Amino acid sequence: MSTVTADLSPPLSLPFHAGALAVLAVAYLVVPFIGSSYLFEAILLPFLALSLAGVGLNILTGYAGQVSLGSAAFMAVGAFAAYNFNLRVEALPLIGSIVLAGLSAAAIGIVFGLPSLRLRGFYLAVSTLAAQFFVQWALTKFGWFSNNSASGVIDAPPLSLAGLSFEGPVGRYLFALTVVAVLTFLAYRLVSSQTGRNFIAVRDNETAARIIGVPVLRTKLLAFGVSSFIIGVAGVLWAFAYLRTVEPAGFNLDRSFQILFIVIIGGLASIRGAFFGAALIVVFPLVLSRLGAFLLGDIFDSGVLDMTQRIVIGAFIILFLVLEPDGLVALWDRLKSRITAALRRA
Amino acid sequence: MSASNFLLVGLSSEVAVPPDIAEHLALRATSAEVPGPRPDEALALELYGIDLSFGGVVALKDVDLSVRHGEIRAIIGPNGAGKSSLINVISGVYKPDRGHVAINGAAYRPVPTQKLAKLGIARTFQNLALFKGLSVLDNVAAGRAYAGRSNFLSQIIGLPHARREQTDARERARRVIDFLHLTPYLDRLAGTLPYGLQKRVELARALAAEPRILLLDEPMAGMTATEKNELADYVRLARDEYAITVVLIEHDIGVVMGLSDRIAVLDYGRKIADGTPEEIASDQRVIDAYLGVPPENEDGEGI
């Protein structure tokens, strides 16, 4: 019956599930056995953390249409909250600390989302910068957050879940992969629910949304809350699984922009887009440094690399905004449909 | 914001505003009857003495309007006569400077936009206001947003009541889509449809809310004569099928004559005529307004 098929919601659900399951199967069953520790430490762990942050920001910016430049601040809130819950609450399992960290980030996100009730677009983006500067300032200013460590840099606790300990690069990879997979699935459920459609309604036409009875204010704050929750957990992964240290400096404005670029390059309003964008942002500098060292030798030192990286990524963003505003995801889909069309013809 | 202007509840604030005492007394006399039986059982919508201005520009001046249950009520007038402003006052997008709107007997000033759908009012917009990033089905199902009770967590988990709600919204949306012959476009993104179809999707979204009163802001603007007649048929059909009251703004006096039960004519923000199509067609002031003859304005107001 038609209602039953309607219940499975979005029209693209089957290929998405099939593709996602295939990727997950490879990620769990193949990668841990063939990957080198370099692959895990330098590529997959930052990729996973940034992808999750991208998913979080995409809910806010891509789906609900609220621009935010404070993503790194919410990551920092997540990382420091998880550290402190873990340190100060006895017998709290790590998963509990992570959930509470996400909730702390959500609370801060909702507070800094309040201006969105009156501000839009560019002005809102600037007001979210306040989160960026305030959080970084507070974390550096008050030693309590970093347990009065002299350097402000603290070691992350070991990862364990339900009695299993996730040691070493592969263990941390599997831990991060599990967290990312679960949250991404929940995010996907959210954006294909009525609430997700309310996000899009508010983004596309706020007045019309209000008139048909979408609770606009609540919807915006919910978007800030959910988005910050996910970004906060991404911050925990960044600090606990990837860097193994927690420090405010790693969550600066550059990181916020990086996440915004991930969303723009990957594709706004697309969960997959965050992964495409993060892959590009993480892999591209490594490719560039290899390529530069190969072609130019010693001239291509870290200073030149850094500069080249910025220039090329800047060019990428301009190109994407002009030529493919829907991002890598749209390119990918077009490629896929062309290949299937060619296969059908053959 | 200015919820204290709620006329029925805020009697004290009414006293605090003294500009025209006689008027307020009259107003209170009518309001006093409101909690009991409605002042006029047959009225779905009433506007009393609506004034609206933007800075120094007067958009509406002392406009009264009554809409009976189940009728198709047209508001016509030349460009800039204040037609859209009137719809925006009824739907709470604009807050009138004076006067109030009574919906099914309860008076509001301003009309609470957030609760509009719950009050049984749906509307379309002069410039398309679809959600471009949603499919036709989701756009129309969005018309049920006001009926949603489930929160985002139960939707993520897929609890039975959230699923039921979603199925129900889609089922109703499908019926309206079918009714307006939009089924072939069900899964298309609304933003990719041609203009005439987008207008119809907007009508479908409004109908999906199953309103008692439907406000249509120039539903036929930019359409060909054939499309206009087609849409007029849909409006009439919708009224008969869903038993709704329709308030319709239209520029094209020809289409309106055949479609509406009663017509109000606005010019320079004032209501210059109100009656059946036949009365309107023979009204000298209406003819003057449409042919551009300067109206005789003894008191010099409104220009």
What tens digit of pLDDT does each residue of B179-215 get?
999 999 999 999 899 988 899 999 999 999 999 999 9
* Mean residue pLDDT across chain B: 82
On chain B, the residues whose CB falls within 8 A of the CB of A195 are: 151-152, 155
pLDDT the model gives residue A238:
94
Taking any CB pair shorter than 8 Å as contact, residues of chain B touching chain A are 91, 93, 113-118, 122-123, 125, 129-135, 138, 141-143, 145-148, 150-152, 155-158, 162-163, 165-167, 169-171, 174, 187, 205, 209
Suggest the residue from B131, B134, B192, B216 to mutate for an interface test with chain A (most A CBs closer than 10 A).
B131
Suggest the residue from B156, B174, B186 to mutate for an interface test with chain A (most A CBs closer than 10 A).
B156
On chain A, the residues whose CB falls within 8 A of the CB of B113 are: 210-211
Domain assignment present for A113 = yes
- What angle is formed at CA A321 by the lines to CA A319 and CA A323, rounded to 5 degrees? 60
Q: Is the pLDDT of residue A12 over 70?
A: no
| pLDDT tens digits for range B207-247 | 999 999 999 998 888 888 888 888 899 999 989 888 899 99
- E strand or H helix at B195, and its extent? helix B195-208
Domain assignment present for A88 = yes
pLDDT the model gives residue B298:
55
With contact defined as beta carbons under 8 Å apart, do A196 and B156 qualify?
Answer: no
On chain A, the residues whose CB falls within 8 A of the CB of B117 are: 211-213
For chains A and B, count residue pairs whose Cβ atoms are closer than 8 Å.
Answer: 105
Instruction: State yes or no: cis peptide before A325, omega within 30 of 0.
Output: no
* Residue B111 CA: distances (Å) to CA of A53, A203, B80, B91, B117: 41, 24, 23, 6, 11
pLDDT the model gives residue A275:
94
What contacts A151, CB < 8 A, 6 or more positions away?
A: none
Domain assignment present for A63 = yes
The C-alpha torsion from B208 through B211 and B217 to B218, rounded to 10°, is 60
- What angle is formed at CA B301 by the lines to CA B299 and CA B303, rounded to 5 degrees? 130
**Is A212 in contact with B142 (Cβ distance < 8 A)?**
yes
What's the structural domain count of chain A?
1
Domain assignment present for A171 = yes
With contact defined as beta carbons under 8 Å apart, do A244 and B124 qualify?
Answer: no
**Is A212 in contact with B150 (Cβ distance < 8 A)?**
no
Residue with tokens 């010099």: B300
Q: Is A257 helix (H, G, I), strand (E, B) or coil?
A: helix
Residue with tokens 């919910």: A222
Calpha distance A282→A274 (Å, rounded) = 12
Q: Provide the pLDDT confidence category of residue B32 given band limits of 50, 70 and 90.
A: very low
Q: How far off is chain A from B60, nearest CA to CA, in Å?
A: 22
Calpha distance B249→B91 (Å, rounded) = 14
**Is A204 in contact with B138 (Cβ distance < 8 A)?**
no
* Token digits of residue B67: 């809409």
On chain A, the residues whose CB falls within 8 A of the CB of B215 are: none
- Minimal Cβ distance to B187: which of A11, A194, A214: A11
- Residues paired with residue A120 on neighbouring β-strands, in sequence order: none
pLDDT the model gives residue A74:
96
* Token digits of residue A225: 């809350």
pLDDT the model gives residue B204:
94
Domain assignment present for A196 = yes
pLDDT the model gives residue B11:
38
**Is B123 in contact with A215 (Cβ distance < 8 A)?**
no
| pLDDT tens digits for range B137-176 | 999 999 998 888 888 989 988 889 999 999 999 999 999 9
On chain A, the residues whose CB falls within 8 A of the CB of B133 are: 200, 203-204, 269
- Residues paired with residue B63 on neighbouring β-strands, in sequence order: B50
Higher pLDDT, B15 or B229: B229
Q: Which of B167, B197, B7, B4 is nearest to B103 (CA)?
A: B7
- E strand or H helix at A182, and its extent? helix A168-191
Calpha distance A109→A226 (Å, rounded) = 9
Q: Is the pLDDT of residue B28 over 50?
A: no
* Token digits of residue A230: 């996910």
Give the domain range for residue A52: 37-253
* Token digits of residue B169: 């919204």
What contacts B31, CB < 8 A, 6 or more positions away?
A: B7, B8, B107
**Is A214 in contact with B145 (Cβ distance < 8 A)?**
yes
Question: Distance from first CA to last CA of chain A, Å, rounded?
Answer: 35
Burial of A63 from C-beta contacts in 10 A (0-12 / 13-18 / 19+)? buried
pLDDT the model gives residue A209:
94
Q: How far off is chain A from B167, nearest CA to CA, in Å?
A: 6
Domain assignment present for A165 = yes
With contact defined as beta carbons under 8 Å apart, do B130 and B192 qualify?
Answer: no
With contact defined as beta carbons under 8 Å apart, do B88 and B247 qualify?
Answer: no
Q: Is B247 helix (H, G, I), strand (E, B) or coil?
A: strand
Q: Provide the pLDDT confidence category of residue B301 given band limits of 50, 70 and 90.
A: low
**Is B170 in contact with A190 (Cβ distance < 8 A)?**
no
Q: Is the pLDDT of residue A77 over 70?
A: yes
Averaging pLDDT over each range in A83-87, A121-125, B37-41, B255-259, which range is the top one?
A: A83-87
| pLDDT tens digits for range A204-263 | 999 999 999 999 999 999 999 999 999 999 999 999 999 888 888 889 899 999 999 999
ipTM, two decimals: 0.81
Domain assignment present for A232 = yes
Q: Provide the pLDDT confidence category of residue B5 given band limits of 50, 70 and 90.
A: very low
Calpha distance B47→B63 (Å, rounded) = 7
Residue of A nearest to B125 (CA): A208
Percent of chain A past pLDDT 70, that is, above it, reads: 95
- Minimal Cβ distance to B131: which of A194, A205, A213: A205
Calpha distance B171→B177 (Å, rounded) = 10
On chain A, the residues whose CB falls within 8 A of the CB of B156 are: 186, 189-190, 193
Suggest the residue from A212, A220, A222 to mutate for an interface test with chain B (most B CBs closer than 10 A).
A212
* Mean residue pLDDT across chain A: 87
Calpha distance A329→A50 (Å, rounded) = 17
Calpha distance B167→B161 (Å, rounded) = 10
Mean pLDDT of A85-114: 92
* Token digits of residue B56: 């120094």
Higher pLDDT, B14 or A262: A262
pLDDT the model gives residue B294:
56
pLDDT the model gives residue A346:
78
Domain assignment present for A144 = yes
Q: Which of B49, B24, B25, B26 is nearest to B102 (CA)?
A: B49
What contacts B94, CB < 8 A, 6 or more positions away?
A: B52, B85, B88, B110
With contact defined as beta carbons under 8 Å apart, do A265 and A282 qualify?
Answer: no
- E strand or H helix at B73, and its extent? strand B72-76
What DSSP state is assigned to residue A157? Answer: P
| pLDDT tens digits for range A139-187 | 888 888 887 777 767 888 888 777 778 888 899 999 999 999 999 999 9
* Token digits of residue B258: 């055949």
Check if A2 contacts B (Cβ < 8 Å): yes
Check if A227 contacts B (Cβ < 8 Å): no
* Token digits of residue A140: 């550096």
pLDDT the model gives residue A305:
82
Calpha distance B216→A346 (Å, rounded) = 52
**Is B113 in contact with A211 (Cβ distance < 8 A)?**
yes
What DSSP state is assigned to residue B194? Answer: -
On chain B, the residues whose CB falls within 8 A of the CB of A186 are: 156
With contact defined as beta carbons under 8 Å apart, do B121 and B244 qualify?
Answer: no
Residue of A nearest to B163 (CA): A7
What DSSP state is assigned to residue B113? Answer: G
| pLDDT tens digits for range A275-319 | 999 999 998 888 888 888 888 877 777 788 888 888 988 888 888
Residue of B nearest to A196 (CA): B152
Q: Which of A275, A322, A259, A196 is nearest to A53 (CA)?
A: A259
